[in-house]
Structure 1
Amino acid sequence: MPEPEHADPPLAPDELVSTGGERELLETFLDLYRTVVTRKLSGVDDEQARQRLVPSPTTLAGIAKHLAAVEREWFQTTLAQQPPLPSGDDWSVAADETVADLLADYERACEESRRTAARFGLDDRVPHRRMGQVSLRWIYVHMIEETARHAGHADILREQTDGAVGFDG
């Protein structure tokens, strides 16, 4: 009797948009990496999330806090032209901040970003103090790069923490 063929896994979100339009692709890839970051923090306790496993101050908790600040910087301050939030060390996690708090804040920041971006077209441009102007398209590409980069950091930190690897671990 022949071996049964192994079924392919279901298509991932980025695969489902393989023929999608530009905006759908940009939004899907950004959301994919936002989800990866969230998954990397899910299942670790507050102590594990604060653990410094590399020479830099990068921690799982710090990644979530940093990315929430970056979401707000690009989508609220830059795109929506809202006043900047008080700046500080967005990698530093306060003693009373829990993983649940950080994930909830990151998810709120991402949802605010989605609502803000929905009001703009990809070609819409807004002033930027350093570059003169930026388009929503550029913000999306930059945020994909930023979020994917830190998702990779989180993947390594999570593997060092408890051995979990991959998109879901």
Structure 2
Amino acid sequence: MSAMTVITPRVDPPMAADETAMLTAWLDFHRSTLALKCEGLTDDQLRLRSVPPSSLSLLGLVRHMAEVERYWFRTVLLGEELTDGLYWTKQDPDGDFDNVDTADVAADFAAWHAEIAAARSASAGLSPDTVAERPRRGQEVTLRWILVHMIEEYARHNGHADFLRELLDGTTGE
């Protein structure tokens, strides 16, 4: 089995809360949804590709979301200068999706969880109006925009994860 055999708690976001609490709760809901889609699968199942020529896999989605968390919260919000990604380089820009065949699944999930922890730490206590600047593009972006974008990014990829999980073992659900 894979390192992903523990049941992930998924908490429904509150129906009434302040803006930051609401956005953070929805982001955490979608993070845990991706984790749930991966639970109980073997490493080989997590690596299985969708449909040729796509390189999409559940493990690729986890690796991609680690990259996305890292970029928006560490590079953009905190201004850290990170050159290459965890899984991609300038020479291999799709390494997060393409290079899963021999990837260390447990290490990749640990990296994803570490980037989530770093994202939570980066945004803790900040106003949604906090402004950051996208490197190389010079565009200002607020924490509010980052949180909404992250919810959108996870929601879109969780749709992909739904199809991948159903392909693997017939499991469906939100």
Same fold (TM over 0.5): yes
- 1:90: Cα distance to partner? 2.2
- Paired residues in the alignment total 155
2:74·2:80 contact (CA, 8 Å) conserved in 1?
A: yes
Q: 1:57-68 alignment to 2 at 5 Å?
A: 57-68=55-66
SS of the aligned residue for 1:13 comes to coil
TM-score, with structure 2 as normaliser: 0.82
Percent of residue pairs bearing the same amino acid type: 37
2:36 & 2:99 partners in 1: Cα distance?
19
Unaligned runs of 5+ in 1: 1-10
2:167 & 2:101 partners in 1: Cα distance?
22
- 1:119: Cα distance to partner? 4.6
2:164 aligned with 1:164: no
Runs of 4 or more above 4 Å deviation: none
Q: Which moved more, 1:26-35 or 1:78-87?
A: 78-87
Unaligned runs of 5+ in 2: 1-9, 89-94
Q: 1:66-77 alignment to 2 at 5 Å?
A: 66-77=64-75
Q: 1:1-169 alignment to 2 at 5 Å?
A: 12-14=11-13, 17-55=14-52, 56-87=54-85, 88=88, 89-128=95-134, 129-130=136-137, 132-167=139-174
Q: Which moved more, 1:134-143 or 1:110-119?
A: 110-119
- 1:125: Cα distance to partner? 0.4
- 1:99: Cα distance to partner? 2.9
SS of the aligned residue for 2:141 comes to strand
1:45·1:99 contact (CA, 8 Å) conserved in 2?
A: no
- 1:130: Cα distance to partner? 2.6
SS of the aligned residue for 1:134 comes to strand
2:38 & 2:127 partners in 1: Cα distance?
32
1:37 & 1:122 partners in 2: Cα distance?
24
Higher-Rg structure is 1
1:158·1:165 contact (CA, 8 Å) conserved in 2?
A: yes
- 1:72: Cα distance to partner? 0.1
1:38·1:103 contact (CA, 8 Å) conserved in 2?
A: no
- 1:106: Cα distance to partner? 1.0
Write the letter of the residue equivalent to 2:144: R
SS of the aligned residue for 1:84 comes to coil
2:47·2:100 contact (CA, 8 Å) conserved in 1?
A: no
Write the letter of the residue equivalent to 1:134: V
2:48 & 2:132 partners in 1: Cα distance?
38
1:75·1:113 contact (CA, 8 Å) conserved in 2?
A: yes
1:65·1:93 contact (CA, 8 Å) conserved in 2?
A: no
- 1:101: Cα distance to partner? 2.2
Q: Which moved more, 1:101-110 or 1:31-40?
A: 101-110
TM-score, with structure 1 as normaliser: 0.85
